Copies of this chain bind each other. A is one copy, B any other.
Amino acid sequence: MLPFNNLIVTDRNSQVSIAAQISDQIIRLIRDGVIVPGALLPATRILAGLIGVNRKTINKAYEDLLDQEWIESVPRQGFRVKTNLPLIKPRSFHPVNKFEQTDRQQPVFIEKDEIPKLGKRRIPDYELLVTDGLPDYRLTPHNDMQREYRKHLDNKALNRATYFLDQGGHPSLKNATASFLNSSRGLNVAEENVLITRGGQMAIYLAITLLVGKGDEVVVTEPNYVFSDETFLNAGAVINRIGVDEDGMIIEEFERILEDRPVKMLYLAPHHHHPTTVTMSSERRLKLLQLMSKYDFWVIEDDYDYDYHHSNRPILPLSTSCHNGKIIYVGSYSKLLGPSVRLGFMISAPKIIQRALHLKRLFDLKGDVFNEYVLAQMIMSGSLDRHIQNVNRIYASRCALMAQLLEEKLGDKVSFAIPQGGLALWVKFHENYDLKQLIRKAAEQGLHLIGNACVNPASVHNNSIRLGFASLVEGEIIRVTDILRQLLS
């Protein structure tokens, strides 16, 4: 309830009656939008107590308001402000000087196209949705995680841990993460090397914000994961772009830049490159490691999709090689358990981890201790590993089906390589088709392609889009490819 005792002040020495003073002030509050249309007024007894007047006075004030048609009587509920009053615009938070408010009739939903990049529309819940490669939420082990969660709600140590500042993640999850990374991909790290984040992107932000300053030269691939670009731009870096072919980043282009000027950082997804899904060849990996020992630069190794390999031959991360601590290794549990699980990690030397923790606390004082603990239990019990094995089989078959249907239905109109793993196909449309227009038309058919697209005509990857197959069941894959065939015919 509003603090009416503060909002309504009566003056016994005034010539205006107390009841009139009260009704006048309520009208002003309605006019100012403090009391909104449809709001219930306090019961007369309560308001009388709050303001310190006789209940009859409030009755009289409410009668005034009824007469003037500001409020109406609702059976068994009391009085409410009339709902047909024009809704008052929020005012105090609409600056009149620098950040001018665009003309809008009333406070409705934010105009999504005022938000730069992506996610411009309300989320539809009935359409076919193709992401840029997210796991299927229907496979998220919600129930197992919830059961585990409830088991620990009364855990005193966990509850008390929520009183403290973030320590870079609950110790159990830092340990479990080190153990998970050591056993799944041959890293060689301990708790002190681990910072738990709310997803891989937070790790990328921390690394770039800590290590890259204004005017620093950085290198990314073209095309690139859009949010690493954005984060570099936010840090004021100068971005250099190098090409990608079927063996990954073209290392010779990188070497030419290094010969020419000092490079502060390289951002790279060597395993399943985003967006193109290609895996960097061993030769180029070796060459990159050589360049790292010759030149002094940082590398963010974004290994967001490591655990999804369809073949039996995952390539170990660059970070398993000797790199003098210059690689920041980044990954995400969201990709393993589902997009609702917001946990990731940053792996680096302890000094970097401590500086990153210091920065992280400035925007995220505390992590989610319970979620972190539950995930640690899942890792240590082996249930995360089992989950990965299960979904890997499912995703591999969805990949095969999507590839087969694209081939059958659109073979002459699209081209793609079957990736060694991951959750998406990088599909190039024949130059006769306008990808932007295709995405628009597909939306009209109820097919939302929200995968990362490359529509940069200068790029060899032009007219390509990531089709995330992992979140689609068989019937959905069939419908998606059918709609695409129909649109391209």
**Which of the residues B93, B321, B340, B352 comes within 8 Å of A325, measured between beta carbons?**
B93
A394 close to chain B: CB less than 8 A: no
Residues of chain B within 8 A (CB-CB) of A32 are 188
A366 pairs with B339, CB closer than 8 A: yes
Q: Which residue of B lies closest to A34 (CB)?
A: B186
Q: How far is the CA of A254 from the CA of B230 in the complex (A)?
A: 37
A368 close to chain B: CB less than 8 A: yes
Q: How far is the CA of A119 from the CA of B354 in the complex (A)?
A: 13
Q: Which residue of B lies closest to A193 (CB)?
A: B93
Contact stretch, chosen from A12-20, A54-62, A84-92: A84-92
A324 pairs with B366, CB closer than 8 A: no
A3 pairs with B186, CB closer than 8 A: yes
Known: A3-B314, A92-B187. 12 other contacts (CB 8 A): A7-B186, A32-B188, A34-B188, A92-B188, A92-B327, A93-B349, A95-B349, A107-B193, A108-B190, A112-B167, A138-B159, A368-B368
A192 pairs with B6, CB closer than 8 A: no
A residues at B contact (CB < 8 Å): 1-3, 5-7, 32-34, 36, 39, 50, 88, 90-97, 99-101, 107-110, 112, 114-119, 122-123, 125, 129, 131, 134, 137-138, 142-143, 146, 149-150, 153, 156-157, 159-168, 171, 178, 182-193, 198-199, 201-202, 205-206, 227, 230-231, 234, 296, 312-316, 319-327, 329, 338-340, 342, 347-354, 357-359, 361-370, 450, 471
**Which of the residues B123, B201, B370 comes within 8 Å of A362, measured between beta carbons?**
B201
A325 pairs with B88, CB closer than 8 A: no
Q: How far is the CA of A80 from the CA of B91 in the complex (A)?
A: 69
B129 pairs with A354, CB closer than 8 A: no
**Which of the residues B160, B358, B363 comes within 8 Å of A115, measured between beta carbons?**
B358
Copies of this polypeptide in the complex: 2
Residues of chain B within 8 A (CB-CB) of A315 are 6
Q: How far is the CA of A362 from the CA of B182 in the complex (A)?
A: 28
A351 pairs with B320, CB closer than 8 A: no
Q: How far is the CA of A131 from the CA of B162 in the complex (A)?
A: 11
A137 pairs with B159, CB closer than 8 A: yes
A325 pairs with B92, CB closer than 8 A: yes
Known interface pairs A234-B362, A358-B115, A369-B340. Does A90 touch B190 (Cβ–Cβ under 8 Å)? Answer: yes
Residues of chain B within 8 A (CB-CB) of A97 are 296, 324-325
Q: Which residue of B lies closest to A91 (CB)?
A: B188
B3 pairs with A363, CB closer than 8 A: no
Jot down 24 A-B pairs with beta carbons below 8 A, ordered by A.
A2-B186, A5-B313, A6-B315, A36-B182, A90-B189, A93-B349, A95-B324, A97-B324, A107-B192, A110-B191, A110-B192, A115-B354, A116-B358, A123-B167, A129-B163, A137-B159, A146-B146, A201-B361, A201-B364, A205-B363, A230-B361, A231-B362, A234-B359, A342-B364
Known interface pairs A142-B153, A153-B142, A189-B93. Does A316 touch B119 (Cβ–Cβ under 8 Å)? Answer: no
Q: How far is the CA of A184 from the CA of B7 in the complex (A)?
A: 12
A96 pairs with B324, CB closer than 8 A: yes
Q: How far is the CA of A165 from the CA of B99 in the complex (A)?
A: 25
**Which of the residues B101, B189, B296 comes within 8 Å of A351, measured between beta carbons?**
B101
B312 pairs with A95, CB closer than 8 A: no
A119 nearest CB across to chain B (Å): 4
